[in-house]
Amino acid sequence: MPHVYETDGAEIYRQSFRMIREEAELGRFSRAEERVAVRMIHAAGMVGLSPHIRFSPGFALTAVAALQKGAPILCDARMVSEGITRARLPAANPVLCTLHDATVPERARYMANTRSAAALELWRPHLAGAVVAIGNAPTALFHLLNMLEDPACPRPAAIIGCPVGFVGAAESKDALWKAQPVPCCIVEGRLGGSAITVAAVNALASAAE
């Protein structure tokens, strides 16, 4: 017999978000934060993610306002940049990933750092007022924090810092949360990744579910 399953995409979303709101601990989030958290949980398929999501004061409203003003979105990995739904962007916002720029390998050798970190040097002309989305590389988040220690470095509007992994991921997010150079969002510990980061951007970009 053929499998019977829900085939209406919109209904799948409605049921998914209803189940998340019924099962996840969302009471500590503001309305704007809850929308972001629900999409992050949906991307992870894990209602237990909610206790690990942290928003600094004003993060969600600041990031939404920046996107509505046309802020660029700076991504550490192509998996992040490709996952952002362009139709949700409120102002045809530029989405930029510099990881595969031809100059990055030589920059990385000169810096004695990863390509992910070296690629951020190409962000400098675009960084002021941007929304940063780091979902893969802890070294990128660490390097961004080092860049922002320089008062002359342009300041982004907000940072989504959700790199995933076993080496440096938890530590880089702890460093961001401690420093909070601008409003930020993290997922504590080793959890994170491109899908969760993309979900946060898409939720900030549009209130539509």
Q: Which residues are catalytic?
A: 42
For 46, the token pair is: 């894990």
How far apart, in whole angstroms, are the C-alpha atoms of residue 126 and residue 107? 18
- Please choose, from the candidates 78, 77, 37, the residue with its C-alpha nearest in 3D space to the C-alpha of residue 59: 37
List 54's β-bridge partners, or say none. Answer: 186
Alpha-carbon distance 93 to 181, whole Å? 23
How far apart, in whole angstroms, are the C-alpha atoms of residue 75 and residue 28? 28
Fill in the amino acid letter for 2.
P
Handedness of CA 204, 75, 39, 190 (dihedral sign): negative
> Which one-letter amino acid corresponds to residue 61?
L
Tokens read off for 157: 């509007």
Provide the phi-psi class of 129: left if phi over 0, else alpha when psi is between -120 and 50, else beta. Answer: left
